[in-house]
Amino acid sequence: MTIKKDLVIVGAGPSALAAAVYTTREEISTVMCEKGVVGGLAAITDWIDNYPGFAKGIKGMDLASQMQDQAERFGAEIQYAEVAEISDGDDFKIVKTTDGELHAKAVLIATGSAYRQLNVPGEKEFYGRGVHFCATCDGAFYRDKKIAVVGGGNSAVQEALFLLKFASHIDLLVRSEVKASEVLQRELDEKVKQGKITVHLGVTPTGISGDNGKFSKVLAKQNGKDVEFTVDGVFVFIGLIPNTAFLNGSGIKLDESGFIKTDANLQTNLSGIFASGDVRSGATMQIASAVGEGATAALKIREYLEKQKHHLITLPTESV
């Protein structure tokens, strides 16, 4: 079955939901395609403490649910299907999904990214309850506690330095050698001298262990020997994987890491196809900024539709 809409949004995370609120209020018919959980990574984050408007913090699932309710209140539709392909037809963009084809005048790709995981036993079991991938989201839970940070690149060192605002001590677990920039390595060396960070080289995590369902340690191999790091939590910073595999062969340009390249209007190299949020090259990987990009993308899509004379609406005198 083929469905025709003004806009198809691929994904239903914070950026997509924010965009849908704006487009549906403008009476731009909008459908979101989501293959997993509405809310994306935000929904599976145990607790979000840095999203504006929630002074006491909010559960990730609750925030995602409120965003979904708001978008649906204005008329956004959510189709639970996986997008396999996007192509440019004569009059419409063609979005092929596991539930059929969608034809749209414009497409917004807001599929986000996934944390590169360790893929070791116990990692999924303790996700959000000892195993974390976001320092700004979860660091404050470890005030005056000992934690481990896995990774040796810029993000791992930078986040380890940030986590010292809360943690009493950090064990930095590095697979080979520290590969961060010289500036970050100088800062790291200073914290090592102060006894706040201990760097462990040649470490490959092999598992996450706990007692009675409570996180307790990181299991690893160091230079061929079994070792354990007894800490209160572990933060993993070994990279992000953009959810862009379905774009292979689409003609949409990606950067060297697979994130979508856009112009100042958040439009890709293909006219009428936009991208926002964590899937976009240069994104800050924060919920608040993803929501802001979603709103911006919605306004740019409205301008695109008007310019193409695809959808006639009356511009409001003031945007809320």
How many helices (DSSP H) and strands (DSSP E) are in the chain?
7, 19
List the end-to-end C-alpha distance of the chain, in Å, as a whole number.
Answer: 36
Catalytic residue among 33, 91, 99, 134: 134
- Closest to 172 in 3D by CA, of 141, 191, 181: 191
Whether 91 is a known active-site residue: answer no
What one-letter code names the amino acid at 44? I
Whether 138 is a known active-site residue: answer yes
Rounded Cα distance between 203 and 190, Å, is 22
Residue found under tokens 């639970």: 80
List the structure tokens of 71. 């978008």
Catalytic residue among 138, 171, 232, 278: 138
Whether 137 is a known active-site residue: answer yes
Catalytic residue among 6, 33, 137, 278: 137
Rounded Cα distance between 21 and 222, Å, is 50
- Closest to 272 in 3D by CA, of 8, 2, 1, 3: 8
Helices (H), the chain: 14-25, 40-43, 60-73, 135-138, 154-163, 182-193, 287-307
Rounded Cα distance between 239 and 196, Å, is 24
| 21 bridge partner residues | none
Q: Please give the positions annotated as active site.
A: 134, 137-138
